[in-house]
Amino acid sequence: MTGIQIVHVPYKGGAQSSADLVGGQVQLVITNLPEQINYIKAGRTRALGVSTLKRSPQLPDVPTIAEAGVPGYDVTVWYGLCGPAGIERTLLEKLNADLIKAVTSPETMKRLTDVGIEPAPGTSERFTAFARAEVAKWAQVTKDAGVSAD
């Protein structure tokens, strides 16, 4: 979206990229907030922006990337529970209700929000629509960027 050219370092996970950022081997990382929150709070790294459209409750003074000058920038890390396409509706509804109950318990909510995760449980229909929209969005991003599988 900005046209900048940077060198992509393909880390296998956030722990090593965070260690290299703290150690000065790389100048920046784009990673999930739980990977960086403790470094940020300890003053070992500095958050330049959050990738979501709204600011993080954990870092309210850190602007969104859109606020920092890249309008429309919206990258959200999300997790979902998936099952077989033919799962019985009653089983799906029971699993969904149990998952919502577990995720929204006060203890779980606190643990997740403490590390910068904002749970947003909902219906399977809402998740399916969201996942399809994400696939379409990222297909367009890769096409616009000229990314190929070659």
pLDDT digits over 23-70, tens only?
999 999 999 888 899 999 999 999 999 999 999 998 999 999 999 999
**In-domain check, residue 94:** yes
Residues 9 and 59 in one domain: yes
Alpha helices in 23-88 (DSSP H): 33-41
Residues 62 and 100 in one domain: no
Residues 104 and 46 in one domain: no
Residues 29 and 4 in one domain: yes
| Residue-wise pLDDT tens digits, 26-36 | 999 999 888 89
| Residue 50 near residue 33, CB atoms below 8 Å | yes
| Residue 1 near residue 70, CB atoms below 8 Å | yes
Q: Does the structure show a pLDDT above 80 at 150?
A: no
**In-domain check, residue 81:** no
**In-domain check, residue 84:** no
Q: Does the structure show a pLDDT above 80 at 149?
A: no
Residues 110 and 131 in one domain: yes
In the prediction, which pLDDT does 129 show? Answer: 95
Residues 60 and 102 in one domain: no
**In-domain check, residue 19:** yes
The stretch 112-134 carries a mean pLDDT of 91
**In-domain check, residue 150:** no
**In-domain check, residue 95:** yes
Confidence of residue 17 (pLDDT cuts 50, 70, 90): very high
Residues 60 and 99 in one domain: no
What is the total count of domains within the chain? 2
| Residue 55 near residue 63, CB atoms below 8 Å | yes
The stretch 72-93 carries a mean pLDDT of 91
In the prediction, which pLDDT does 145 show? Answer: 83
Residues 4 and 71 in one domain: yes
In the prediction, which pLDDT does 115 show? Answer: 85
Task: Output the CA–CA distances (angstroms, integers) from residue 69 to 41, 53, 65, 132, in the order listed.
Answer: 24, 12, 6, 28
**In-domain check, residue 97:** yes
CATH number of the domain where residue 45 is located: 3.40.190.10
Q: Which domain holds residue 39?
A: 1-76
| Residue 50 near residue 117, CB atoms below 8 Å | no
| Residue 116 near residue 37, CB atoms below 8 Å | yes
